[in-house]
Amino acid sequence: MKRLFKAAALALGLLLPGMAPSVLAAGSPTTAATAQQTVPRTILALVDLREESTIRLSRIHTMVELPLNHLGLSVVYWNVADGLPDLSRYPDLRGIVTWFAGDPFTDVGAYIAWAGRAMDRGVRFAVLGQSGVRLERGGKPVPLAVANRFFARFGLRDDDGYSDLTYKSRPILADGMIGFERPLSGVLPGYPLFRKADERFASHLVMRRGDDPASDSHLVVTGPSGGLVTDGYGRYFDAEYNRRQWIVDPFAFFRDSFATDDLPKPDVTTLSGRRLYFSHIDGDGWRNVTEVAPYANRRVLSADMVRTAAIEPFPELPVSVAPIVGDLDPTWKGTPESLQAAKKLFALPQVEPSSHTWTHPFQWSFFKDYNRQNEAPFLNRDSGYRPGKPDDHAAEEAGEVSDIGRYAVPRAYLQQPFDLDQEIGGALDYFTRLAPAGKRAVLVQWSGDTSPFEAALAAVRKAGGVNINGGDARFDADFPSITGLPPIGLPVGAERQIYAAGSNENTYTELWTGRFYGYRNLINTMRHAGSPIRLKPFNVYYHMYSGQKAASLNALVSVLTAARGQELAPVAASTYARIAEGFYTTRFEPLAGGSDGGRRWRVLDRGALNTLRFDNASASAVDFARSSGVLGQRHSQGSLYVALDPAVAEPVVALTATARADRDPPAALPYLIQGRWAFSALAAQGQGFRVAATGYGDGSMVWHVPRPGRWTVTAERDGTRLWSGSADADADGRLALTVPVSAIAPLLLRLRPTDDTAG
């Protein structure tokens, strides 16, 4: 039994006393043979870092990668300033995406030939913005016959015409792919004259000048080799407000360009059929004295204020709390009060100890090639991080512009030289020692500009940890576009940073300078990021200084209250980070023997990721007879979410046709429809079944069982029965119940028909 619990907890990314974390690095090796046999999921993004300074800020990363992730695709990057890549380095390559603003190639002919060879072997291209084939770098025109060899791959021919003045132009065809977030309106950009030359390609936007059919230009097309969006017609950009909106539906465009309909999607938003929830707190403002009456008169710390107002009243909502060692350790700037605040927080069952580093670096690049002498000019400005009274530890002084950018000092505490091992592994060990026995700090929550360099990310992995932060996800009236939502993570050299799924209160309060109530707007971001397409988990991410102001604390409580009222599956933030890592490592091996067109796959190398999604799947269901290691299924938003059993390393998922998505498909064995907890090791037992469970709050769940009528349910731990009850399965076999027992430590549930005496 203990072995079952340990296997389940490791697979779920949860820790039991005395257990080391299960860490799967983003670069986990896969044999070349396996990679060649699996469904290709990699998209190679060609970027020109001479025009875009970093991948982090590139158009593809900030706009394209999120839709590609949602479609189940993982993105890797190549800087074309270094030449053209050797595609043999990418054995699971599905496609290539470009979004150039200029002319990156000195030899356009070589690029066109390289792209042609890639397409000939089945690699699909998605081209947005400038194609990169009209001019060579430096402005030399490319012969039209050469450029047309490239455009012909997209069913087009450039007739060397151009509509500069577009006041007479109008779309004669704009299908459902056009006008996703912003319609074609106002003064339209100029466009080239693209003739349709291959009927295998579908046109989604065709412009005509006046009433002349000879002027028709096909500006958005998709087809057998990919898709092309003419510059100016993919997105709208408002320079005054720095606002971007999609004109083209990126989900539809990339779905057609990369033919993803047959691809199972590893999904990081969902667990046990429910939207996933996690919360994490950065330690900034830990020692601030709250202004909330009547606690201000007692000089209560913001960390204690958050605990009493926003953590203890919500025991069913887990939260990962990440202090800064410098705020706690008395050899730095810690006090008995700040240290005690951490111990009280870590003692709460729903709190996961995490790390916001040792000295709180503000600008991580400053420490990439660290030299203590570079910090010398800032040593006498250490107090700049803490305004006023020495016990009023400040939030990030993000509004203060100085000689290293947006921060006055490179890190909060400078009295000792920077030590990367201390900053990462040392801080994790410090918080583990501070936590009760059985709890271990494994999550590093990036500080400052949340832009760690490769060695910092590697230090987390080497310390047995996982990482999170960055991304600043917003999707609300101020940021009315999915472009405000980041992808799952960012490749940094050979490592990977995992982004938070929601923005903290800094972006809602103008860097903590006003509108301290603004964080309640997170509810709108979470609503839009969850419907009509579930793009992100529900993430409540904030700083300890939210406990300083009455307005910010009230906003935080309103967000938590809203989360409490939704159907969610809460997990610790470190669990989400491991799930996100699993997105990049997951592989699918196609198998024969499916009952519906061969739709059957073995799932490999998924780490802690335990949900697959199939889109446009209202007429599909899991074929449980030909599947193994599948916990259950649920239809939602036109997609089929499939829950995998963490105890099965290589599950097999088979799909079959179903007549109705609003009816659970019949199956000989019970399966999960949805639940608040995470489940593992599902097995038949007599006429019923048993399953391990972990989670937060009461365990509400719905199962499909083969027998209607009354069922008996028991919950036990280590052989001791903790609860017993019963519930009725309706005529369709739906068994809804709630287990009112804490499952933070794993439980074993046994469910059997009440008349089954052998169970």
Mean pLDDT, the chain, whole residue set: 90
User: For 499-513, what is the mean pLDDT?
Assistant: 93
pLDDT band, residue 14 (cuts 50/70/90): very low
**Distance (Å, whole) CA 141 – CA 109:** 12
Is residue 17's pLDDT more than 50? no
CA–CA distance, 300 with 289 (Å, rounded to integer) = 6
Cβ–Cβ < 8 Å for 268, 528: no
> What whole-number distance in Å separates Cα of residue 425 and Cα of residue 404?
26
Checking if the pLDDT of 477 tops 60, the result is yes
pLDDT digits (tens, 9 = 90+) for 275-303: 999 999 999 999 999 999 999 999 999 99
Question: How much is the pLDDT for 37?
Answer: 86
| pLDDT at 368 exceeding the cut of 70 | yes
pLDDT of residue 486: 97
Please give the distance of CA 591 from its chain centroid, rounded to a whole number.
28
CA angle 637, 641, 644 (to 5 degrees): 170
- Tokens 């290589």 map to which residue? 650
Give the tens place of pLDDT for each residue, 519-578: 999 999 999 999 999 999 999 999 999 999 999 999 999 999 999 999 999 999 999 999
Locate the DSSP E strands across 86-201. Answer: 93-100, 124-129, 156-163, 169-174, 191-196
List pLDDT tens digits, range 299-352. Answer: 999 999 999 999 999 999 999 999 999 999 999 999 999 999 999 999 999 999
Which amino acid is located at 347 in the chain?
Answer: A
pLDDT per residue over 451-470, tens digit each? 999 999 999 999 999 999 99
Give the total residue count for the chain: 759
Torsion of CA 204, 210, 215, 218, to 10 degrees: -10
On the question of pLDDT at 9 being above 60, the answer is no
Q: Give the CA distances from residue 323 to residues 245, 447, 468, in Å, rounded to whole numbers and listed in that order.
A: 37, 11, 14
**Burial environment of residue 389 by CB neighbours within 10 A (0 to 12, 13 to 18, 19 or more):** exposed
Mean pLDDT within 747-758: 86
Q: Is the pLDDT of residue 92 over 90?
A: yes
Would you tell me how many other CB atoms lie within 10 Å of the CB of residue 340? 14
Q: What percent of the chain has pLDDT over 70?
A: 91
How much is the average pLDDT of 720-747?
Answer: 96
Q: Give me the pLDDT at residue 660, please.
A: 79
Q: Which amino acid is at 272?
A: S
Average pLDDT, stretch 639-658?
96
Tokens of 71: 């479609």
| Alpha-carbon gap, residue 714 to 712, rounded angstroms | 7
Above 70 in pLDDT, residue 381?
Answer: no
Torsion sign across C-alpha atoms 549, 555, 558, 562:
negative
pLDDT at 12 (0 to 100): 39
Q: Is 592 or 360 the better-scoring residue by pLDDT?
A: 360
Domains, the chain, in order of start with CATH, read 40-263 (3.40.50), 278-579 (3.20.20.370), 586-753 (no CATH)
For residue 404, name the pLDDT band (cuts at 50, 70, 90): very low
Q: What is the pLDDT of residues 599-636, one digit of tens each?
A: 999 999 999 999 999 999 999 999 999 999 999 999 99
